[in-house]
Structure 1
Amino acid sequence: MPNNSVTTNTVKLGKGFIFYCSKKQLLNGRHCIELNHAEREILCYLIQHSPRVVSKKELINIGWNQKEISSTSLFQTIRTLRIKLKEEEKGQVIETVPRLGYMIKVTAIEPVNLHNENIIITNKSKNKFNYTHLTVVILTFFIISAFLYTFVNKETSYYHKISYDHDNNTFIYLTQNEDDLDFLQSYSKTYITPTEMDNKLFFIAKIDKYYSVAFCDKNQQGTCIPSSSRAVTFDQFELELFWPILSSHTNYIQTISLFNDENISSTTAKTYNLYIEGGKLSPNLVQSSLQKISNLKWSFSSVSYKVNNEKTEFIPVYFKGGEFTLFKTDTAPFIAEISTKPKYFNWVISENELERSGISKPGKIQNNFNSTFEKQKKHTSYIVFRQQELILWFSKDLGFYWFNKDKIENSNFSELSNFEKCKDIIGLNPQPNCENN
C-alpha cells in the first residue's frame, strides 16, 4: 500500500519558535527548549498531520507507546506544551476541538519531503487543471468552517462535574473544555483546596487561561453562610500560589468586617472578590443598586472599592452602570442568563491618587472586564447558584462573583431569586413544592 503521509522538516510555531521534526527539537532563537518523550512525539505528530484534527486516542498511542494512561496525562502534556510555546491565549498554537481532539497552527512551513513515490508533480502544461490545488482549497474551506462553527458554539458550551469527599465538602467543576474537568478534579486537592477542611462548598472554574474559585462555609441546610462567601480569580501561572497566598494573607480578613457592614440601602447588593495577580492578593468590593425598568429588565449602577495597604478602609476607585436583562437558558448547568449592556464607566480618583492612598492599581483581569464598560460592549453572564440571600454569578471574562444581600426578598433583587424558581441543575438548593414541576 502506498504511503501518503507528508513529513514536514521544519516549521515555525507561535512567536519565534522553530521545530525540526527530523531531530524532534524545539528552538527559541538559539535556545533549545527541553521536551520530554511524550511532548516531542505529540508535537511532531500534530505538525506532521497539520491541519487535520488529531484524535486524543492517536496522541495517547503516539506519546506513550502502548502504555495504558488516562486522558489526564495527555491533557497535562498539551498544557505543558502550551506553556513552553508561550501561548498568550489558549489555542494560539494548539487548538482544542471539543469532542474531536487537537490541531496545531503552523504559521510557516519550509521545504517538505513527500514520501509517496507514486505521486508525480509536474508543471509541463500551464493550462492543465491543478486538482491538487483544488483539493487544498476544498479542505481549507471545510477546516475553516469547522473552526468557525466550533468558535461560535464554544461561547454557549459548558461542562460541569460534581464531587464530594468524606469531610462533607462539595466540589462543582465548570469548564468550556471537557478535558479540563479531569484536570481540575485531579489537581484541586494539590493546588486549590487545603489538606484540612470540612463542610465547605467549592465552585472551581477554568475558562481559557483564567481560573476562578468561589467558596463558602455550609450551614445546617447544606447551603452557604453568606458572610463566609468568597471568590478568587487568577491566571494559569498563579495556580500553585492560590492557597498559600490565601492562607498566609491573614490581613485580608480585616476587610471582611468592612464588607459585612450593613449601613447601605436595601436595594444594594455587595460583591466581594479577590484577585491574585503578580503573586499578590487584591481585595475588591462592589456595591450595586438596581432600578426596575420593566419585566425582567433593570438599570444598575455600581461603585468599586479597593482596600488600602493597611486593610483598614475601602476607598472608591471607579463607578459604572448600564442595563441588564434576565433570560431563560438551556445552557447547563446555569439557572438563568443575564445580558448586560454597559452605558458608562468613570474613574473616581486618578492613578496618582491611588498611589498616594496606598492602593494597588486594578490588575489585568479587572482591567479586561472594565474595558467592556469603557467600550460599551455587551456581555453575557449566568446565575449558577442561588439561595434567598445570596446569588453566585459567573462570567467567562471575570469568573465567579457573589451578590450578597441578607433579606434579598425585600429589595429589587427579589425577582433574581424567584426567576425559574424550580430550576436547579446542580441540585444544591432544592425548593419546596418543586418536585412535580
Structure 2
Amino acid sequence: MPNTEQIRFQTNVCYVESQGVLKTPESTLKLNLSEQYILSYLIDNYGKPVTKNELLNVGWPDRIVTEASLFQVIRALRVKLNEEKKGDVIETLPRVGYQIREFTRETVDLSDSQRLSPLKKIGKKTIALSAISLVVIISGIAWMKYPYSGSPKYYLIDKDRVGSNDFTYIASNAEDLADLRGKVKEIINQQVNKFGSITTKNQRVYLYKTDSFYSAAWCTVDSNKVCKKNSDFSYKIVPNEWSTFADIVVNNKKNYHGTPIIHTENTQEPTSIAYTSYIDKSGIQSKVTHLFLTPTNKNGIFNYSMMSFIQEKESGMFHPLSISAAKAILYDKGSQFLKTVKIEPEMFHWSYQPSVNFDEKKSLALKHSSLVEQGFQNNKPFFSYLVYEQPHLVLMLDNTTGFVWNNTSEANPYAIFSYSSSSSTNK
C-alpha cells in the first residue's frame, strides 16, 4: 500500500484524511461525512478563525440544518479526538466559531498501521458474528410497523393511590391497563407477605406498556409532593424479565442512577441529562443522554441535539451510541398531558461499534435507537409528551421508547416549552 499523509494532534490521535479515519495505537475509528468535512476544513484553515456559518455550509452542503447539528458534531469530534479538556484540539472562539490547534503532518505506511486495528485482533469469526447480529436487528425492525404517525397518540390513563404511593398507568388499550394494575398489586402483595407491610413508600410511580416492553418511572416525594433529588429512576423491561424487575422493587435493591452534572459553559441553555436502565439480558445496563436545547421562540419552536452513551452491565464501561438533532414544535391542538411536542428530525448519526459484550438481538436500547434512526432517515415527525415537571426535573413519554426523566439546568423547566421575550436570544 502506498504511503499517505496523516495529521497528528496533541492528543496523539491521528487523522488520515484519505480514509476519513482517526487512529490511535489501539484503534481505528471511521468518521461520518459531516465529521470528515468539518475536521478537514478546520485543518485546511489552520491559524484562521472559522465561523459557524462556514462549518454549517461545509458539513451539510446539500441540507439546511441548525447550529445544534454543528454543536453535536464538534462535541463528537472532541470525544473521538480524546480531548481531556475542551479545546485541546478544537478551540471554541466565543461569538465567532472554532479554530484547530497545533498539529504535525506525517507520512505513514498504512500497511503497518492496519495491523493495529482492533478488528484484526478480534478475529474474523467475531467480526462475522457482530455483522450478523446487526443485520438481524435491522431486518427484525424492517417488518415492524413504524410507530410514529402524523398526530399525537391517544392513551388510556388511570390512577391509583396505594398506601402513601401514587400510581399512574398509561397504555393503548384496557387490557394493557389492567395488566399494569395487576403487576402493581402483585408487587404490593409480595412486600406485605415478606415484610408484613408495604415497604414502598412516598413514591410517585408511572407505568407504561407496549407489545414489546414495559416502561417504569418513579421518584420519592417529600411532604410537598416534590421529587427528592436523585430519587428519579426509569427502567425499560422486556416482558419475560418482569419478575427480575419486580424482585428489585420488592426487595428495594440498589438502582442505577448517576449524579447529574449539568455543564453550561459554551453551550446553549437549558441543558439536561437523562438516565435510563434496562432489564433485557443484553449486557447493556443503562443509557445516559446529554441534551442541549435552544430557547423556545415566539412560534413555539425550539431546537435540540443529544448525544447518547450505553453502559456495560459487567464492567461499567461506557460506549458511544448515537448523536441526533431535531426541531421541536409545541403542539397547540390540545394534549392529554402537560404539553405535547412535535419532533421534526434533522440529523441522526450512529456512534455505536459492535461489541462482543452485548447481545444485540436482546437489546431494547439498540432496538429503540434503530427505530428512532428509521424515523430520522424517513424524515418522519413524531410526538413526545411532558408528563410531569418540577424545578430542574421533567418526565417525558414517547410511545416508542417509554418514560425518561430529564435532569435539567432550567429551574423552571416548564419554561422550556413556553416562549418568553427574555429567552428569545441565546444565553
TM-score of the pair, normalised by structure 1: 0.52
Amino acid in the other structure paired with 2:158: K
CA distance in 2, matches of 1:225, 1:169: 14
Query: In the alignment, does 2:207 pair up with 1:211?
Result: no
Q: How does 1:275-290 map to 2 (within 5 A)?
A: 275-278=278-281, 282-290=285-293
Contact 1:238 1:279 in 2 (8 A): no
User: How many pairs align?
Assistant: 261
CA RMSD of aligned residues (A): 3.7
How far residue 264 of structure 1 moved from its aligned partner, in angstroms, is 5.0
User: What's the CA shift for 1:379?
Assistant: 0.8
Matches within 5 A, 1:185-204: 185-190=181-186, 195=191, 196-204=199-207
- 2:374 partner SS: helix
Counterpart position of 2:415: 415
For 1:210-268, what per-residue CA distance to the aligned partner results, in whole angstroms no more than 9, with x for missing partners?
32111111122112124111111233333233233678896763xx34x4234455531
2:223 matched to which residue of 1?
220
Q: Secondary structure at the match of 2:209?
A: strand
Task: Report the Cα distance in structure 1 between the residues aligned to 2:226 and 2:238, rounded to whole angstroms.
Answer: 28
State the AA in 2 paired with 1:416: I
The one-character-per-residue Cα deviations of 1:109-156 (angstroms, maximum 9, x if unpaired) are xxxxxxxxxxxxxxxxxxxxxxxxxxxxxxxxxxxxxxxxxx999963
Is the aligned partner of 1:367 residue 2:367?
no
Secondary structure of the 1:351 match is: coil
User: Where does residue 180 of structure 1 map in the other structure?
Assistant: 176
Distance 1:239 1:155, change over 3 A: farther
What is the distance in 1 between the residues matched to 2:365 and 2:281?
12
The question of whether the paired residues in 2 share the 8 Å contact of 1:275 and 1:282 is answered with: yes
The DSSP-based 3-state class of the residue aligned with 1:223 is coil
Tell me: CA distance 1:312–1:351, structure 2 relative to 1, closer, same or farther (3 Å).
closer
Matching residue of 1:103: none
Q: Matches of residues 231-270 of structure 1 in structure 2 within 5 Å?
A: 231-244=234-247, 253=256, 256-257=257-258, 259-265=259-265, 266-270=269-273
Higher relative contact order (CA 8 A, sep 6+): 2
Unmatched tracts of structure 1, length 5 or more: 1-87, 93-150, 420-437
* Cα distance change, pair 270–347 in 1 and its aligned pair in 2 (3 A): same
Q: Report the equivalent of 2:158.
A: 161
CA drift at 1:378: 1.2
In the other structure, the counterpart of 1:404 is 407
What residue is the counterpart of 1:300 in the other structure? 304
1:32-111 alignment, distance < 5 Å:
none
CA-CA distance at 1:209 after TM superposition? 3.5
1:265-414 correspondence to structure 2 within 5 Å: 265=265, 266-278=269-281, 282-292=285-295, 294-295=297-298, 296-309=300-313, 312-332=316-336, 334-351=337-354, 362-409=365-412
Q: Tell me if the contact between 2:234 and 2:275 (Cα under 8 Å) persists in the aligned partners.
A: yes
Instruction: Give the aligned residue type for 1:171.
Output: F
CA gap of 1:316–1:171, structure 2 versus 1, over 3 A, is same
State the distance in 2 between where 1:372 and 1:186 align.
33
- d(CA) in 1 for partners of 2:403 and 2:149? 23
Q: Which has the larger radius of gyration?
A: 1
> Alignment partner of 1:227: what SS?
coil
Instruction: Name the stretch that deviates more: 223-232 or 298-307.
Output: 223-232
- What whole-Å deviation, never above 9, does each CA across 1:29-82 have from its counterpart, x for those lacking one? xxxxxxxxxxxxxxxxxxxxxxxxxxxxxxxxxxxxxxxxxxxxxxxxxxxxxx
Task: Give the Cα separation in 1 of the matches to 2:283 and 2:245.
Answer: 10
Letter in 1 for 2:177: L
Aligned with 2:166 (options 170, 176, 188): 170
The 2-side partners of 1:240 and 1:382 are apart by 28
Once the two structures are overlaid, the 10-residue window that deviates more, 374-383 or 308-317, is: 308-317
Q: Deviations over 1:3-44 (max 9, x none)?
A: xxxxxxxxxxxxxxxxxxxxxxxxxxxxxxxxxxxxxxxxxx
Q: 1:155 to 1:268 in 2, by over 3 A?
A: closer
C-alpha distance in structure 2 between counterparts of 1:162 and 1:361, whole Å: 27
Query: Could you list the runs of 5+ residues in structure 2 that have no partner in the other structure?
Result: 1-139, 192-198, 420-427
1:96-175 maps to which residues of 2 (within 5 A)?
156-166=153-163, 168-175=164-171
